[in-house]
Amino acid sequence: MLSLRVARGSRPAVLLRRAVVTVTAAGTGFLLLAALAHAALHPGHADGSALRLAWCAVPFALTAYLAALVARTEPSCRLSAGQPLALGRVRTLGAATTALSCALGSAVALTAFQPPVPLAGALTLLVLLPVAAAGAAALSLRLPRPAKAPGGLPWGAALIAIGVAVEFSAGSGSGVPLPGGLGRVAPAVLCGWALTAAGLVLAGPGLVHACGRLLAACRPGALRLIAGRALQEEAPRVGRPLGVLCAVASALYATGAVARVRPAGPLTALGIALVLLAALAAALTAMAEARQARLPATAALTGLGAPASLLRGAAALRTGVVLAAAVPATWAVAELAGLRLGS
């Protein structure tokens, strides 16, 4: 009941983020039910049904990740360093609110899905996402700690290099079927893509921090100094969602090379849309969280007489530098992955 009262009294931006979580949860639930319906209609093709269910893990994981990020931006779930005793209550509230949003999406999926499915199996599958998202939200809510320089950039670059090497060392021939009739791919290629995706996610915070250090280097002016210091402070918050978005973008770019030859089915298109929506919403949510954390510094700069144009310019500079670093890296990884997926 407390989570319902909190949801009813929230601001429009908070309600919009919760609505996105509900939409992605509904889409993920629909894909899970589709896999269950395939298993019920084709009892002799257990391997194909299991593979369909396994591919649902991607939107499932991204939906849970998005739900955890949204929980961290909830006004009722914000913690300061002087509130250690409130951590348990905040985690409970965040988990309950997150479970409510995901359960609503699961209910929408069950209502909208028309083919007959076993009710017990459907409820078992649909309850997994609210439970996983609530657990992720509870774990993500923690007391603020002093920001440290992320050290994942070298390890992320190493994972990307290993993943590319694994992709190109894979043999040709039949392998794991891609969803939606997009053909088959060697298991080693999928393993290599997973390594490159993990490398992009791991390297994200370090990349953002390195961009901030580059901006603040060599006797910076006020504009570069403000932008660089802000990026270094925001790297732990926005770096990981940025890495997730880069990994998703590279995968979709590579998959597009295959889809031009073999058009994807409607369920695959739904899965792609869900993954892209969740990754983009996660990045925007992290930016909103960083903006909230930056409010005291912005107020201090404004109190010292900093013009609004300077703060807008610093925000534009931060965005431009991060995009200039992230877009070429994502494109290069996507091109390399597309060469193997399209072969």
pLDDT in tens, 104-118: 999 999 999 988 888
pLDDT of residue 247: 93
pLDDT of residue 304: 83
Count of H-run helices and E-run strands, the chain: 11, 2
Q: How far is residue 257's CA from residue 253's CA, in Å, rounded to a whole number?
A: 7
pTM for the full model?
Answer: 0.89
- In Å, what is the CA distance from 327 to each residue of 111, 285, 332? 40, 20, 9
Q: How far is residue 226's CA from residue 212's CA, in Å, rounded to a whole number?
A: 9
48 touches 42 (CB < 8 A): yes
pLDDT of residue 98: 93
pLDDT of residue 116: 86
Q: Is 313 exposed, middle or buried (0-12, 13-18, 19+ CB in 10 A)?
A: middle
Classify 79 as helix, strand or coil: coil
pLDDT of residue 11: 73
Q: Over its length of 343 residues, how does the chain's per-residue pLDDT go in tens digits?
A: 545 555 554 578 888 999 999 999 999 999 999 999 988 888 877 777 888 888 899 999 999 999 999 998 887 676 655 555 567 788 888 889 999 999 999 999 999 998 888 899 899 999 999 999 999 998 888 776 666 778 788 999 999 999 988 888 866 656 777 776 666 777 888 888 889 999 999 999 999 999 999 998 888 888 999 999 999 999 988 999 999 999 999 988 877 766 665 666 788 889 989 999 999 999 999 998 888 888 888 888 888 888 888 889 999 999 999 999 999 999 988 888 777 665 5
Q: How far is residue 232's CA from residue 215's CA, in Å, rounded to a whole number?
A: 10
pLDDT of residue 340: 63
Q: Is 80 exposed, middle or buried (0-12, 13-18, 19+ CB in 10 A)?
A: exposed
To 10 degrees, the CA torsion angle through 41, 260, 274, 181? 20
Beta bridge partners of 176: 185
- Cα 77 → chain centroid: 20
pLDDT in tens, 63-90: 999 999 999 888 767 665 555 556 778 8
